[in-house]
Amino acid sequence: MPRKSLVKSCSLCGAKEVSEPRGEEKYCRDCWEKKIAVEEIVAREFALKRYIRAHSAEKYLIYHSTLKRPCGQLIVVDDGYDLFLTLMLYPNFSWEDAAYHLEGDPEGRLFSEILVDVVAAEVVEPWGGGKWHMEIFRSINPEPEDWNGEM
């Protein structure tokens, strides 16, 4: 039996051979690049605005381009070794919805997963990377209770 029959074809285009991602190949190179590009566009809709900056801690409000009010909050604490992140998601945004749709894609991503990518790229990496831990909480209040008029 020729080996070729074992080669999986891409989940998206169904034509080319899979090569991405490494170890869990599901997509051809072109379709993978397309998927990454789409994820980057979705990720750019989020904005992290830092409003507290201390020596070993920071606090951010998380905005999405479709909303005027913040839809989340992030607290970062550095204990000198590891980074501890606490992500609070407000109910005014559809965190559990698929962030995008690609025809035939076996692996969609949720908005909440995309946000974790954004936090890793915009907060963890600039901080120096290394080991980090994240806890995610769903707030039942649309905004923090200690909201004051200054922000």
Binding positions for Zn ion, rule: CB under 5 A: 10, 12-13, 16, 28, 31
Task: Pick between residue 10 and residue 99 the one whose CB is nearest to Zn ion.
Answer: 10
- Which residue, 80, 79, 81, 76, is CA-closest to 57? 76
DSSP, residue by residue, 59-76: EEEEEETT-SS--EEEEE
Task: Pick between residue 68 and residue 101 the one whose CB is nearest to Zn ion.
Answer: 101
CB of 14 to Zn ion, least distance (A): 7
For residue 116, the surrounding DSSP H or E stretch is: helix 111-119
For residue 31, the surrounding DSSP H or E stretch is: helix 29-44
Task: Pick between residue 13 and residue 43 the one whose CB is nearest to Zn ion.
Answer: 13
